[in-house]
Structure 1
Amino acid sequence: MSSAQDPFYIVKEEIQDSIDKLLSSFHRWEQVLPESGEQLNLTKELLTNCESIEWQVDELDKTVSVAARNPSLYGINEVELDKRRRWTSNARSQVGNVKKQVVARKEANGLSTSNVNGMRRELMRLPNSHQTDKSSQYKSQATDDLISSESDTQLLIMKQQDDELDALSYDVERIGHVGLTIHEELLAQERIIDELDTEMDSTSDRLEFVQV
């Protein structure tokens, strides 16, 4: 039986065509952005095609096992059986490698998505960004008001201290003037007393002179 008429080769060509399309889709899948809509669709398509091709290869491999029981009945020999086994094994490896890489990235993306969902759940416990912005604005405004209030208070205290220093300086100056005035008055009184003493002495001398 020629290869063109052998059911194995007819099915083999169909499976090989499916594998070629699978590899083409896989190469496109490798180039698209992770977690993009296109990659998600390609991931589903690749996994579905992998399962379909694996089933077809398994069914074709069963026909090889059946033919191996009585090769002469099917007009084939051990060399042809080994050739068919190698092809099914190679086809299974190609599909398995594609499936392994797709599943690995899918699980990685699933873990990433789980982390994102976890972050979303955490964020749900927090105010939304708009509320956070408003809260930040309120806090910032409150902080500015507090700083402004504290600054005003400090300025008021400094002004009060300046006023107190001015008042104290005025009091010291006034007391100084009062003290100077008192000192001058004391000097004046002392001069008056001295003059009175001098006058009294003079008067006493005149009285003594008159009595003599």
Structure 2
Amino acid sequence: MSMEDPFFVVKGEVQKAVNTAQGLFQRWTELLQDPSTATREEIDWTTNELRNNLRSIEWDLEDLDETINILFRGVCAIWGKQTDEQDMKDQMSTSSVQALAERKNRQALLGDSGGQTWSAGMTDKYGHLDRELQLANSHFIEEQQAQQQLIVEQQDEQLELVSGSIGVLKNMSQRIGGELEEQAVMLDDFSHELESTQSRLDNVMKKLAKVSHMTSGMYGV
């Protein structure tokens, strides 16, 4: 089997996709563990990329399984034996064994149960992972909404405090203004009283001067 055979081509694509998916899964886990450092855009992008990579792996594995079936039928035709497909795969080349091991590793990575076959478990497995992704995203959104709600409540409390302070200052300003108006009225009244007193004092002084002048005339002073 040459390196140009479809088996090796698909196997390389699957391995590359698995490596990419593992990196995305690690990053996705880090983002969910510490949402405060993640943006909504990064969470969505990582989730979508992880989902797309897993679906791509599923398609590539279907191609790989089809390639193995073709090889199986060819070997059966050469050997002329009716051998059980699974037993025949176990007797294939080292490359086929490695592909099977990689498949089992991917099953373990994605949480597939041992009692299910690969083709039967693919849909449930990816459906379960997709539900986990959606659930994790829902939790992230709920946490973000809770944080936003907390911020809004704190801002409302601060606005209430500021509003209360403004109300107190307004009342103080009104009281001070009222007192100043009262003082202005008192000063105005005092000014009028002072003017009236000064006028009366002037009249008295004039009368006193006149009396003094008349008295001086009478006594020839």
| TM-score, normalization by structure 1 | 0.47
Structure of larger gyration radius: 1
TM-score, with structure 2 as normaliser: 0.45
